[in-house]
Amino acid sequence: MYKILEKECLNPTVTRMVIDAPAIAAKAEPGQFVILRVDENGERIPLTVADFDRKKGTVTIIFQIVGATTELLNAKNEGDSLQDFVGPLGIPSVTEGLKKVAVVGGGVGCAIAFPVAKKLHEQGTVVHSVIGFKSEDLVILEDEFRAVSDHVAMMTDDGSYGEKGLVTDALRALLDAGEQYDEVIAIGPLIMMKFVSLLTKEYDIKTVVSMNSIMIDGTGMCGCCRLTVGGETKFACVDGPEFDGHLVDYDEAIQRSLMYREFEEEAHEHVCNLFKMEVK
């Protein structure tokens, strides 16, 4: 069992938890993920390692409440335990040798982008962070990004905080102003990563994206997380989750991501109704 040491609500739909998991903390690197089960009857879900502390033996996860399992996970409190917490899985982010990087994060994807930005900062890389959200009430990790970035562009769709516009607007402005990057790292919704990649292709800048697909076993055996990269079939859990953003077939990935939406919404509604019954 893996004890929840801290729980914090970052916004109405996003929660941060610190888990006691010393074996994972000892080996975790930015870009990797864990697979967890809330209880013995629960499904397996992948969550990116948002941070870790090797000395304390803790791993931080940040998740959005979007389905039945994340609803159940969010119902857990400090002192409770998770049934399973397996990792670290996936290939770590490659950051060595990069002198100047633009890290682009969208929504809850900022939780995945932050540890990468943090590691780049720690190794002396110049980091420009471009982070975007729908509105001010959904902003997360702003202070954390500012602590590890040489420049931060904060964007909101509705202009309620920072600048109004998309992350691609801010990134294009930086490029047009003469900023030159060894690499752009984009992590967020598939549609965001698609358009960031289209933009950087115009400027011939290497771009890495994190493909957080639906997963079950995390070993490449189930095939749920397959995607097409450069015309070849890849598995996000073992070949990634990071890939060359200019080679990913985003349209296929978006179509696959919608396959289980109806089922997930039904399961989520079922769990919500159970919570309502318990309250009564």
Model confidence over 115-164: pLDDT tens digits? 999 999 999 999 999 999 999 999 999 999 999 999 999 999 999 999 99
Q: Residue 50 above 80 pLDDT?
A: yes
Per-residue pLDDT reduced to its tens digit, 73-113 = 999 999 999 999 988 998 898 889 999 999 999 999 999 99
**CA–CA gap between residue 242 and residue 31 (Å, rounded):** 7
Matching residue, tokens 């389905």: 67
**CA–CA gap between residue 189 and residue 181 (Å, rounded):** 22
Whether 85 and 161 map to the same domain: the answer is: no
Is residue 117 within a helix (H) or strand (E), and if so which, with residue range?
Answer: helix 110-122
3-state secondary structure of 205: coil
Handedness of CA 233, 235, 258, 10 (dihedral sign): negative
- What pLDDT does 238 receive? 82
Number of domains, the chain: 2
Whether 116 and 201 map to the same domain: the answer is: yes
**CA–CA gap between residue 95 and residue 92 (Å, rounded):** 9
Rounded alpha-carbon distances, angstroms, from residue 44 to 39, 125, 150: 10, 36, 37
Query: Is 220 a member of any domain?
Result: no
β-bridge pairing 14-20 and 58-64: antiparallel
Whether 49 and 16 map to the same domain: the answer is: yes
- What pLDDT does 240 receive? 78
Q: 89, 123, 151: which is the final residue of a domain?
A: 89
Q: Residue 233 above 70 pLDDT?
A: yes
Range of the domain at 63: 2-89
**CA–CA gap between residue 233 and residue 138 (Å, rounded):** 35
**CA–CA gap between residue 197 and residue 171 (Å, rounded):** 11
